[in-house]
Structure 1
Amino acid sequence: MKSENRPTNLNTFFIVWSGQLVSTLGSEMTNFAMTIWAWELTEKATPLSLIFFFSRLPRVIAAIFAGLLVDRYNRKHLMMLGDTVAGVSTLVILFLLLRENLAIWHFYLTFRR
């Protein structure tokens, strides 16, 4: 018995998987670079700890509601929303860095994956 909505190949899966791989890799590279920048700027552990805390806090909060959200809303749209928010946050950080207005507290407010 073959379902009519079942894909016949894995092309769609590999496209989505590749996009998520690139997004996650980019987010983690950004987090690493921000940590290096914060260390060079302050040479203190407290800002690094706070950056780590605030970069992980959205994941913890999202995990609480993830099951409810993915059951009620389109998973594809939720992934696009999360990636868009992370991308916009990264662009805001880049803009602030290029304008030489970037401060440690900006990292606390940005949401990255």
Structure 2
Amino acid sequence: MAKPFKNLRDKMSPQAQNASEEKAKKMLSEMPLQELRKARQLSQKNIAEVLSTEQANISRLEQRTDMYISTLRSYIEAMGGQLDIIARFPDGEVHISQFKEIESLQNSKSAQSSG
């Protein structure tokens, strides 16, 4: 019979508990798109409907190792998120903003073509 994790955790030293918690946080902060979608309790079909595409296309997208930023942004937004591109350097971080400008241009073009 399986024992509750809490029982095992209570027997761990405070250092081991802290190390376990840090590892869990790191694992949750870094995950592939497919795991992120599952963690948000969404199906490929849900994402496909929001993006007006087929489920098979979402499956292929989740397997890619290289894709357009606009494609990744659409996928993240379909899950209710927001994509932020950050460059990390030894002396600090920089949020890259030019992709937001591209999105604004795309939105205004699509508004003009539908109007």
- Fold similarity call, TM over 0.5: no
Q: Which structure is higher in RCO with an 8 Å CA cutoff and minimum separation 6?
A: 1
Which one has a larger percent helix, Structure 1 or Structure 2?
A: 1
Greater share of strand residues, 1 or 2?
A: 2
Bigger Rg over Cα: 2
TM-score, normalised to structure 2's length? 0.30
